A = this chain, B = another copy of it.
């Protein structure tokens, strides 16, 4: 009834946007791009999705205005478009965690089991950094670290962690972070470091959420 033509049109656009978010590969691509711009090649390698398929997904993301692609040398580099992309995905995640029984199950069974300690929120992390009372560990790949990270963070890839463990000061709490709240890297880092007797907690979110919330970011 009431033949709301323009509202209907808007809702259909909103739905189309939700469908763009409604694919696990595209969500993963968005997560990667939220760490920093990347050429298609790297996205292919890092996700394990086939080349042409990544390209097609990127195209859908671009058509929806979520990413932009530009040529840099031989590669076409995609980056997140300005706008509340991270926020929208976070809202989706929050809804899923709250309302979907299966999601609560996976989180409880898998993640809470590895790390039962309460993770550190952004506000607390910031004040701990300001008082210099904590060592912050970024376990993402080096290029993602380079294109943006939380100030004072040290970048030690998970693969390199075993070998460089002596670089970490003892007797000081370590906080580890990663791409997002369920990035497995930081969970594994926490597990590995705890086994060596370090006091480690995870940052509750990841770099993109930190940045989207307006906290300071360092590039180098």
Contact = CB atoms under 8 A, between A and B. Distances in A.
A140 B1 CA distance: 14
Given A1-B48, A45-B1, A65-B101, A95 B6 contact: no
Interface stretch (A104-112, A145-153, A191-199): A104-112
Interface size class of A (residues with CB under 8 A): 35 or more
Contact of A6 (B45, B91, B110): B110
A99 B23 contact: no
Interface string A21-45: 1111011100000000000000001
A14 B106 contact: no
A217 interface: no
A10 B103 contact: yes
Contacts of A88: 91-92, 94-95
**Residue in A10, A83, A100, A182 whose Cβ sees the most chain B Cβ within 10 Å:** A10
A76 interface: no
A99 B48 CA distance: 28
A101 B9 CA distance: 13
A159 B161 CA distance: 68
A13 interface: yes
Interface of A: 1-2, 4, 6-19, 21-24, 26-28, 45-48, 64-66, 81-85, 87-96, 98-103, 106-107, 110-111, 182-185
